[in-house]
Amino acid sequence: MSFELYRSSAAGERMIEVPIQESSGGSNIWEIYPDSSFQIIRGFGGAFTESSAHLWTRLNPNLQRELINAYFSDSGAAYNMARTHINSCDFSLGSYDYLDGADSSLASFDLGPDKDDIIPMIKAALEFESELQIIASPWSAPPFMKDNNTWFGGKLKPEFYDAWAQYFVKYHRAMAHEGIELWGYTVENEPLGNDGNWESMHYSPFEMAEFIKGHLGPRFEQNEIDASILIYDQNRGEELEEWSEVLLRDTALSPFIYGTAVHWYTSTYDWFPASLNHAHELAPNKGIIQTEACVDAEVPHWNDDVWYWKKEATDWGYDWARPEHKYLHPKYVPVFRYARDIIGSMNSWVEAWVDWNMLLNPQGGPNHVENWCIAPVLADTVKQEIYYTPLYDVMRHFSSFIPRGSVRIAHSDLPDGIMALTVKRPDEKIVAVLLNTLPENYNLNVSFANNDLSFTLPSSSLQTLVVNK
């Protein structure tokens, strides 16, 4: 039996392999239980937005290949999940759909706007990861199908429920024609809306159930589309429990849906384990997938690794949350937020964790409504330079070592400020990802299956332990 240990830290270490030694005993005993089992891990990934793809197509061929390799190859982040948008979203160059005007027949349907950037980027990724599972999400139906006739806000008119379901079918077939098989769909990105700031379309849980049962699900069946349908696709801390009660208890809906999609934007530190556990307990046979997360409301810090380890980042809620919700949005350390959320949510039954934009520019865009955010990788297309932020390292600490089919296993408790995710891989290797948010080092003595070893968790560090059998 051999061990590998990889570390990133506020001291400047970035995914370096560090030595470990056999345990000499000690009081900080931490146990891993390889024979336990929870959910099967589906994977990790990021999103092919028009903004990301637009930047990628403007890099030279060497940098294009470098970026795809960094995200999708086994020597990089080994992403095996992804997301993209149907029609435009905020991270597009402008609002668009796939029709020529108010074409309710859908006869003019064409992926034209995506053929210049999103589709080529996805095809490049598929060359590295042929088993890539992509989830597609609409932010809004074409305005003529909505009760307010605009991209922002409003609801889908009931008379267009079936046409909108057919739109999904058209999209699926068109992408398949391009050689891209979609694994799944969320019915709507953030159906509670975004205060009308960019593309959105509102549903109640009852309306979403009606749309799936009466239209989307049957249309997929009629057209032999074997794609997973995900409900909700909204922040965990908003109405996840209320929606779960309606949708996951609906026995007529159940055959049509794979599970629940969630986002993280209702807090900079809380992953809402009670809400996630509640969704799992209501429907243990349904999956939960994190479909979007990012450092929002921040202009990126270029070539400044230190900032990503500092408690200086703010999110939208720091300024704009209601007074009674302000406590959920304190300043935070970006690295900690990412690692804490992945560990916490997966310890609460999330089976896949998908980041938002894979690539943004130094401004945090392009974004046609100026909703600037940070991506794990940034690109200056004028200078033809790429910056891999420490957030990219965070993703790699999980995605590079936890392949699809790994099973979450149990471990003993750790002190406040230290978190861990433990899994058993299909090849029987054990992986533990450990986060130390404390300002001091913590010496850990690991015990499992008659084996012991010890190593230090430096202050402000993230480590991945691999146990090779």
- Say whether pLDDT at 20 is over 90: no
Do 271 and 204 share a structural domain?
yes
Q: CA nearest 126: which of 182, 171, 63?
A: 182
Inter-residue contact 253 to 244 (CB < 8 Å)? no
Inter-residue contact 448 to 29 (CB < 8 Å)? no
State the CATH number of the domain containing residue 305.
3.20.20.80
What is the per-residue pLDDT for 447? Answer: 86
Q: Is 98 helix (H, G, I), strand (E, B) or coil?
A: coil
Of the candidates 405, 426, 444, which is a domain's last residue?
405
Q: CA nearest 376: which of 357, 363, 354, 353?
A: 357
Of the candidates 367, 388, 405, which is a domain's last residue?
405
Do 129 and 203 share a structural domain?
yes
378-390 mean pLDDT? 99
Least confident residue range of 41-55, 197-211, 437-451: 437-451
- Say whether pLDDT at 26 is over 90: no
Do 257 and 284 share a structural domain?
yes
Do 328 and 188 share a structural domain?
yes
Q: Rounded to an integer, what distance in angstroms lies between the CA atom of residue 40 and that of residue 409?
A: 10
pLDDT, tens digit, 9 for 90 and up, residues 115-156: 999 999 999 999 999 999 999 999 999 999 999 999 999 999
Q: Rounded to an integer, what distance in angstroms lies between the CA atom of residue 339 and that of residue 359?
A: 19
Do 202 and 136 share a structural domain?
yes
Long-range contacts of 113-117 (CB under 8 A, 24+ apart): 113/50, 113/88, 114/50, 115/178, 116/57, 117/50, 117/53, 117/54, 117/56, 117/57
Q: CA nearest 358: which of 381, 342, 336, 379?
A: 379
What is the per-residue pLDDT for 451? Answer: 78
Do 30 and 128 share a structural domain?
no
Do 393 and 303 share a structural domain?
yes
Quote the domain boundaries for residue 429. Answer: 2-36+410-468
Taking the CA atoms of 328, 333, 338 and 342 in sequence, report the sign of the dihedral they define.
negative
pLDDT, tens digit, 9 for 90 and up, residues 56-94: 999 999 999 999 999 999 999 999 999 999 999 999 999
Do 357 and 424 share a structural domain?
no
Q: Is 421 helix (H, G, I), strand (E, B) or coil?
A: strand
Q: Which residues pair with 451 in a beta bridge?
A: 448
Q: Rounded to an integer, what distance in angstroms lies between the CA atom of residue 218 and that of residue 161?
A: 12
Q: Rounded to an integer, what distance in angstroms lies between the CA atom of residue 366 and that of residue 271?
A: 28
State the CATH number of the domain containing residue 424.
2.60.40.1180
Terminal Cα distance for the chain, rounded: 5
pLDDT, tens digit, 9 for 90 and up, residues 257-304: 999 999 999 999 999 999 999 999 999 999 999 999 999 999 999 999
- Count of domains forming the chain: 2
- Say whether pLDDT at 22 is over 70: no
What is the per-residue pLDDT for 24? Answer: 58
Whole-model pTM: value is 0.97
Do 66 and 17 share a structural domain?
no
Residues of the chain with pLDDT > 70: what percent? 99
Of the candidates 368, 386, 405, which is a domain's last residue?
405
CA distances to 1, 74, 164, 424, 429 from 469, rounded to whole Å, are: 5, 20, 51, 11, 6
Q: Which two tokens stand for residue 128?
A: 């590295």
Do 244 and 96 share a structural domain?
yes
CA distances to 70, 170, 316, 317, 372 from 322, rounded to whole Å, are: 39, 40, 11, 8, 21
Do 349 and 225 share a structural domain?
yes
pLDDT, tens digit, 9 for 90 and up, residues 5-14: 999 999 999 9
What is the per-residue pLDDT for 188? Answer: 99
Do 462 and 353 share a structural domain?
no
